[in-house]
């Protein structure tokens, strides 16, 4: 199912907000009519209850995916400006991941596409999706099963390099591969 | 007679910094490093309406706080020039010193008082008078209480604004925006003047694209807390949230239908970023359009019959319109190679959007009947425009000194308010509906 209900308790730094909320709620309880004149009420404003979004825990992965000497520890594919095709130099890397997925059908991956921060956030989200989709398509062509690979986009929201120059932008035009347990 | 408001403005830069003057509790309510939004305005009308607002009568501290909220709202709007009301005590029942006010050039005077019962309840009353006709223009009374005092002030300012300009005021509306701290994202809800900021959601992962439900009780937004974009609908009062679109792939860009029953969203579940419609509880997903490239940033027209969106189907990012029943999309924007984030004005007559000109991203407005485009800012990095519910101002995210600030720009570009948080990064504004 695609529904999920989350309700989390306040974290420590927010307890002051909770006090303010209590004050708001108290303020809202006043009777809506004035004694002498029929004053219109200042309507009870809806108070805001703060929520803390949950965290995701990682699990251990086989060494072949994390050992720096293994090609499978390399998880990033970089793209040219305004381009969405996987460049030939990444063929070996993508083929290695495709083979690992073909040999280990219990594994799933998440591909996160990214962009630089120029332009609309939502449009960049769509551009990052194009990069993630291109990488997914290549992985599937090289042997991964479609249901092992989910392609998503982080758009410009999670830059690896926070700078605003060409070098930073190049680092952020990227798709990353995350294995089960890393997302 | 009151002069009609002219749309001719002179550049008359002023600076006004309003910092939290209310209780210490409120100042602490925005949990992390950032305090409340501060507002600076620049530009104003040459023919601002000259208005005197007398000090409200009643308990000095409370009355002063109330008067200052009303004056602050009206002054910041850029539509009024505040005239010294004189020092003689005045309330809603007393007769103003017409002669003095006329000499000072005031067209209207507001006067009132606030009185309290023993139970913490208070009543604020006021009357607005036309100085030249020496006649009442209107008045109202609001029951309030200490925590709701600012709200009462905003309601009074709304009445004065409407009586004098003919358009409803937006001082008692709320805004939503996202504050980015280090490794921390907070979705805040604040009054339109930036006060009373409260965090509705705190997350380690980004939050983007907040959108108010038409009744102002819920927000739809995109959260990355699950390592991918998922659309939530969040009831502000209860904090109850539902993932209404959490399909395989990315889920983003929620927009409410004007009746609050449906959302237009962007899903990549069937490949590419494409627009779908679904019910506000997440059920009844149906595809709206099919394009070979990107379709995103849907926005309903106020009549609910059509949807404006961004697409690269013609080779560059441009704005299109399609009926809610689907069918052929019509291209709306033509100038330039990057026109994105369309937002229709509340009266349906114009479109705010972001255009790239000479490498800079600027807020623009298009008259939908003439297709005439006016660029409203000289910014480098405007994003995410959002109309005030009276259509008079557009709230937009921009960058100043390397950090995100919000800017409220009048639809003629002449009045600007900057809303910023000291040392904070603010983005993704959404102006809420009228409070009912």
Check if the beta carbon of residue B402 is closer than 8 Å to that of residue A162: no
H-type helices in B127-186, by residue range?
149-165
- Contact check, Cβ <8 Å, A127/B294: yes
* Rounded distance between C-alpha atoms, residue B265 and residue B231, angstroms: 8
Residues of B in contact with A22 (CB under 8 A): none
pLDDT at B46: 57
Q: Does A40 touch chain B (CB under 8 A)?
A: yes
d(CA B233, CA B433): 16
**Pair of tokens at residue B350:** 């114009």
CA distances from B3 to A53, B130, B135, B167 (A): 52, 11, 15, 15
> Does A160 have pLDDT greater than 50?
yes
A51 and A100 housed in the same domain: no
- What integer pLDDT is reported at residue A16 of this predicted model? 33
Last residue of a domain, one of A55, A77, A92: A55
Instruction: Render pLDDT for B304-357 as a digit per residue (tens, 0 to 9).
Output: 999 999 999 999 999 999 999 999 999 999 999 999 999 999 999 999 999 999
User: Does the pLDDT of residue A33 top 60, yes or no?
Assistant: no
Query: Residue A28: what pLDDT?
Result: 36
Q: Is B434 exposed, middle or buried (0-12, 13-18, 19+ CB in 10 A)?
A: middle
pLDDT(A6) > 80: no
Q: Closest-CA residue in chain A for B285?
A: A2
Whether the per-residue pLDDT at A34 is higher than 90: the answer is: no
The count of domains in chain A is 2
Nearest Cα residue in chain A from B310: A123
Of B13 and A2, the structure prediction assigns the larger pLDDT to A2
Q: What percent of chain A has pLDDT over 90?
A: 62
SS3 B244: strand
The verdict on a CB contact (< 8 Å) between B228 and A32 is: no
pLDDT at A60 over 80: no
A21 and A83 inside one domain: no
Which span out of A15-24, A33-42, B22-31 was modeled with the highest average pLDDT? Answer: A33-42
Q: What is the pLDDT of residues B74-118, one digit of tens each?
A: 998 989 999 999 888 899 999 999 999 999 999 999 999 999 876
pLDDT value of residue B424: 82
Chain B residues in contact with A24 by the CB 8 A cut-off are: 147
Q: From CA B318, how far away is CA B371, in angstroms rounded? A: 14
CA distance B274 to B247: 13
Q: Which residues contact residue A61 at a Cβ distance below 8 angstroms, ignoring those fewer than 6 apart?
A: A179, A181, A182
User: What is the pLDDT at residue B45?
Assistant: 60
Using DSSP's 3-state secondary structure scheme, residue B325 falls into coil
Q: So what's the pLDDT on residue A146?
A: 97
Distance (Å) from the C-alpha of residue A12 to the closest C-alpha of chain B?
A: 9
ipTM over 0.90? The verdict is: no
Nearest to B141 among A11, A34, A45 (CB): A34
Q: Identify which of A27, A40, A118 has the shortest CB distance to residue B141.
A: A40
Distance CA B151, CA B435 (A): 11
> What is the Rg, in whole angstroms, of the alpha carbon atoms belonging to chain B?
23
C-beta atoms of B151 and A45 within 8 A: yes
Q: Which residues of B touch A6 (CB under 8 A)?
A: 241, 243
Count other Cβ atoms within 10 Å, centred on residue A183: 17
pTM equals: 0.84
* Residues A10 and A46 occupy one common structural domain: yes
Instruction: Tell me which of A12, A29, A55 is where a domain ends.
Output: A55
CB-nearest partner of A2 from B32, B223, B247: B247
Residue of A nearest to B384 (CA): A120
Nearest-neighbour CA in chain A from B267: distance (Å) = 10
* DSSP-derived secondary structure letter, A37: S
Tokens for B18? 């309003």
pLDDT tens track for B407-423: 999 998 888 889 888 77
Reported confidence tier of residue B33, pLDDT bands at 50, 70, 90: very low
Domains of chain B: 46-165 (3.40.50.10070), 174-431 (2.120.10.30)
Same domain, A11 and A49: yes
Residues A21, A102, single domain; the answer is no
CA B364 – CA B354 distance, rounded (Å): 6
Ranges A80-94, B31-45, B120-134, B259-273: which has the least confidence: B31-45
Query: CA–CA separation, B227 vs B405, rounded Å?
Result: 26
The pLDDT of residue B50: 95
Cβ(A144)–Cβ(A98) below 8 Å? yes
Which residues 6+ apart lie within 8 Å of B170 measured at CB?
Answer: B158, B192, B388, B389, B390, B392, B393, B431, B434
> Does the distance separating the beta carbons of A120 and B239 come in below 8 Å?
no
DSSP state, B304?
S
Of B31, B148, B356, the CB nearest to A27: B148
Most A-contacting residue of B70, B148, B181 (CB-CB within 10 A), to test interface: B148
Answer yes or no: do B202 and A52 touch at CB < 8 A: yes
Same domain, A44 and A115: no
Altogether, the residues listed in chain A come to a count of 183
Q: Would an 8 Å CB–CB cutoff place A22 in contact with chain B?
A: no
B272 and A130 within 8 Å at the Cβ level: the answer is: yes
Q: What is the mean pLDDT of chain B?
A: 89
Taken in order A63, A64, A65, A70, the sign of the CA dihedral is positive
Query: Both A72 and A51 in a single domain?
Result: no
Burial of B40 (0-12, 13-18, 19+ CB in 10 A): middle
Are both A101 and A136 inside the same structural domain?
Answer: yes
- Is the domain of A95 the same as that of A146? yes
Residue-level pLDDT at B111: 97
Mean pLDDT of B261-278: 97
Reading the block at residue A142, the tokens are: 């090289």
Domain that holds residue A24: 1-55
Closest Cα partner for A6 from B283, B245, B234? B234
Do A164 and A99 fall within a single domain?
yes
Mutation target for B interface from A8, A29, A42: give the one with most B CBs within 10 A.
A42
Q: Give first-to-last CA distance, chain A, whole Å.
A: 19
A137: CATH: 3.30.1330.60
Query: Contacts of residue A34 in chain B, CB cutoff 8 Å?
Result: 123, 141, 143
From B203's Cα to the closest Cα of chain A, the distance in A is 5
Q: Which of B202, B246, B273 sits opposite A53 (nearest CB)?
A: B202
pLDDT > 90? residue B191: yes
Residue-level pLDDT at A46: 57
Distance CA B394, CA B345 (A): 9
For residue B21, is pLDDT > 80?
no
CB contact under 8 A, B310 and A23: no
pLDDT digits (tens, 9 = 90+) for B218-243: 999 999 999 999 999 999 999 999 99
B9 has a pLDDT exceeding 80: no
In angstroms, what separates the C-alpha of A1 from chain B's closest C-alpha? Answer: 9
What pLDDT is stored for residue B39 in this prediction? 67
> Residues of A with CB below 8 A from B223's CB?
53
Q: Are residues A105 and A34 in the same domain?
A: no
Residues A46 and A90 in one domain: no
Mean pLDDT within A36-48: 52
Closest residue of chain A to B219, computed from CA coordinates: A48
Domain boundary among A39, A55, A71: A55
Q: What is the pLDDT of residue A56?
A: 41
Under the banding of pLDDT at 50, 70 and 90, the label for residue A57 is: very low
């Amino acid at each position: 199912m695609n529904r999920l209900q989350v309700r989390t308790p306040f974290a420590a730094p927010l307890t002051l907000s909770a006090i303010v909320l209590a004050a708001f709620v108290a303020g809202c309880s006043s009777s809506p009519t004035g004694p002498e004149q029929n004053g219109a009420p200042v309507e009870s404003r809806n108070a805001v209850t703060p929520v803390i979004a949950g965290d995701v825990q990682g699990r251990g992965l086989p060494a072949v995916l994390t050992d720096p000497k293994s090609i499978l520890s390399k998880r990033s594919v970089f793209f040219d400006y305004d381009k969405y095709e996987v460049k030939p130099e990444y063929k070996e890397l993508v083929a290695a991941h495709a083979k690992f997925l073909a040999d280990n059908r219990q594994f799933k991956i998440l591909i996160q596409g990214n962009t630089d921060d120029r332009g609309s956030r939502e449009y960049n989200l769509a551009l990052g999706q194009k990069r993630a989709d291109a990488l997914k398509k290549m992985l599937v062509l090289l042997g991964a099963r479609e249901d092992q690979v989910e392609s998503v986009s982080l758009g410009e929201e999670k830059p690896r390099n926070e700078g605003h120059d060409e070098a930073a932008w190049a680092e952020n035009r990227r798709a990353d591969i995350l294995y089960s347990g890393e997302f | 007679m009151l002069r009609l408001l002219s749309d001719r403005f002179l550049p008359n830069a002023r600076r006004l910094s309003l910092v939290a003057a209310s209780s210490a509790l409120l100042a602490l309510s925005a949990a992390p490093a950032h305090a409340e939004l501060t507002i600076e305005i620049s530009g104003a009308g040459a023919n601002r309406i000259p208005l005197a607002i007398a000090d409200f009568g009643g308990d000095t501290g409370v009355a002063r706080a109330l008067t200052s909220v009303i004056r602050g709202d009206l002054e910041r709007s850029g539509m009024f020039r505040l005239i010294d009301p004189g020092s003689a005590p005045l309330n809603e029942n007393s007769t103003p010193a017409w002669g003095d006010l006329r000499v000072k050039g005031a067209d209207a005077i507001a006067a009132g008082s606030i009185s309290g019962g023993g139970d913490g309840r208070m009543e604020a009353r006021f009357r607005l008078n036309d100085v030249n006709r020496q006649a009442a223009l209107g008045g109202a009374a609001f029951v309030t209480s200490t925590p709701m005092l600012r709200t009462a002030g905003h309601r009074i300012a709304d009445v004065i604004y409407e009586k004098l300009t003919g358009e409803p005021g937006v001082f008692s509306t709320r805004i939503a925006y996202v504050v980015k701290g280090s490794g921390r994202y907070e979705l805040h809800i604040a009054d339109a003047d930036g006060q009373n900021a409260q965090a509705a959601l705190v997350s380690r992962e980004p939050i983007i694209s907040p959108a108010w439900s038409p009744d102002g009780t819920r927000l739809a937004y995109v959260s990355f807390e699950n390592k991918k974009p998922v659309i939530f609908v969040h009831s502000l009062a209860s904090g109850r949230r539902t993932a209404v679109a959490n399909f395989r792939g990315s889920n983003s860009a929620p927009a409410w239908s004007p009746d609050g029953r449906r959302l237009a969203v962007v899903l990549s579940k069937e490949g590419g970023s494409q627009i779908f419609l679904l019910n506000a509880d997440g059920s009844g997903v149906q595809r709206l359009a099919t394009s070979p490239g990107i379709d995103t940033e849907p926005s309903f027209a106020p009549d609910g019959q059509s949807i404006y969106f961004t697409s690269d189907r013609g080779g560059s990012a441009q704005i299109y319109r399609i009926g809610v029943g689907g069918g052929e999309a019509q291209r709306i924007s033509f100038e330039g190679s990057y026109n994105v984030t369309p937002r229709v004005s509340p009266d349906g007559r114009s479109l705010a959007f972001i255009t790239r000109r000479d490498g800079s991203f600027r807020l623009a407005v298009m008259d939908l009947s003439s297709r005439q485009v006016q660029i409203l800012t000289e910014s480098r990095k405007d994003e995410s425009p959002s109309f005030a519910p009276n259509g008079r101002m557009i709230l937009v995210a921009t960058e100043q000194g390397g950090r995100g600030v919000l800017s409220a720009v009048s639809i003629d570009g002449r009045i600007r308010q900057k809303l910023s948080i000291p040392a904070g990064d603010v983005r993704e504004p959404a102006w809420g509906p009228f409070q009912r």
